[in-house]
Amino acid sequence: MLFITFILAVGASVVSFIAGITFSQSSILKLDFIPEAGKEFINKAVAFGSDFINLTSYGNISDTVGYCMLAVSALTLLGALLCLFIKKFAGVLFLLSAVLCCYCGVIVENAKDFFILAGVILVTAIAALSLKNSSSKNTTKSTTTSSSQRVNLKKGEKVSLTKNYSISKIVVGLGWSVNSNSGTDFDLDASAFLLSANNTVTDSSDFIFYSNRTHPSGAIEHMGDNRVGSTGRADDEQIKIDLKRIPQNISKIIFAVTIYDGQKRGQNFGQVSNAFIRIFDEQNSRELLRYDLNEKFYTETAVVCGELYRNGSEWDFNAIGRGFNGGLEKLCMDYGVNV
C-alpha cells in the first residue's frame, strides 16, 4: 500500500508540474531569478505539455490555472515524502490538492482532465489515510503482543506494567559493577522512596533501605545489602513489591542507588559501570523490563534509576537515570525524610 500511494502521489505531482508550467509559461519565464538552465528545462517541459494542452481554449485564466497546478504539484510531492517517513498529514495534503484540481476544472470549460487528475489524487488521499490507520493498528498490536517479551527501555521511556502484564507481585533488581582500577571497595546501596501526591514521604517508614527493609503495609521488602557488588550481570540488590498491597496514599515509588560515604572516600558513579534496573515476575522469574544506565555520572554519588507510578488504576514504570551529588542524604532531604 505504501508503494502504491507513493507512486500515485509522485505521478500526480509530475503531471501537475507539467500542466502548471505549461499554463503559466509566459509569467514564469519573466522571473529574473530563474537561471538559463531552468528556463531551458521549462521550455522542454512546456513543449511536452503542449502536446496535451491547448492553451488557446483557456484565455486569460491560464496563469491562475498554472499557479494552482504548481501548488498541486508541490503539495502532492510533499505528501509523497510524508507517506515515506512519518505517515502523518499526507492525506490532508492530497485532499487539498484534489480541491485545487476541482477548482481549476470549474473555472475552465474543458474540465474533464482536471477532474480525472482530482480523482487520482483523491484515491491517493484515501490510500494515505488507510496507510496511517493500518500503521496505528500495527502499533497497537505491537504494544499488546509485547507482553510475552522483555521491554528494553531507554532514558525517559515509560511502559505500563500492570496493563501489559496483569501481575501484582514483582521484584525490582538493581545491579552494577565497580571498575577494577577504582581502588577502595565501594559500598553501594539500593533504596526505595514511597511518595505521596506531593512528592514526599508521609513518614520515615516510607523510606525503604538496608536499615528499614520492610514497609508497615507489607507491600515492599528490601532483600538485604550487598556490600561488594558483582559483574553487573546479576542483581546486586533486590526489592520485592506486592502492588495490590501498596497503600492508596502512595502515588509513586522511586528506586535509587547511592554510594555509602562516597564524598568522604572520593568515590562517584564515574567509577561504576554496567548499572541497570530491571523488573521481573516474582512467581516465575520472567523478566518484564530492563533499563541499562549507559549515561556517565562523573561526580554524582547518587542515581535515581527509575520509578513506579500510578496511572489511574494501573502502575507504570518510568526510566529516569538522573544523577545527584550529596549521596543518600541529598535524596532523603529532597523526598522529605528526616535524617
C-alpha R_g of the chain: 32
pLDDT band at residue 75 using 50, 70 and 90 as cut-offs: confident
Q: Do 116 and 179 have their domain in common?
A: no
pLDDT tens digits, one per residue of 258-287: 998 888 888 889 888 888 999 999 999 999
Q: How confident is the model at residue 229 (pLDDT cuts 50, 70, 90)?
A: very low
155-178 residue pLDDT tens:
999 999 888 888 899 999 998 888
Those residues with Cβ within 8 angstroms of residue 269's Cβ, 6 or more apart along the chain or in another chain? 259, 275, 296, 297, 298, 300, 301, 303, 323
pLDDT value at position 296?
81
DSSP labels, 258-269 = EETTHHHHT--G
Choosing from 115, 145, 175, the residue where a domain stops is 145
- Are 214 and 327 members of one domain? yes
What's the average model confidence in pLDDT over 130-151?
49
If asked whether residues 196 and 322 sit together in one domain, one would say yes
Print the domain residue range for 135: 2-145
pLDDT bracket for residue 147 (50, 70, 90): very low
Q: Is 64 in the same domain as 199?
A: no
Examine the domain organization and report whether 169 and 136 are in the same domain: no
Q: Three cell numbers at 242?
A: 506486592
Instruction: Answer whether 0.75 is exceeded by the pTM.
Output: no
Specify the pLDDT at position 117: 61
Q: Is residue 339 part of a domain?
A: no
Residue 197 phi, psi dihedral angles, 5° rounding:
-65, -25
Compute the average pLDDT of residues 64-73.
75
Is there a domain that residue 196 lies in? yes
Ranges 180-184, 286-290, 309-313: which has the least confidence = 180-184
Q: Quick check: is 135 in a domain? A: yes
Note whether 100 and 175 are same-domain residues.
Answer: no
Q: Are residues 37 and 177 in the same domain?
A: no
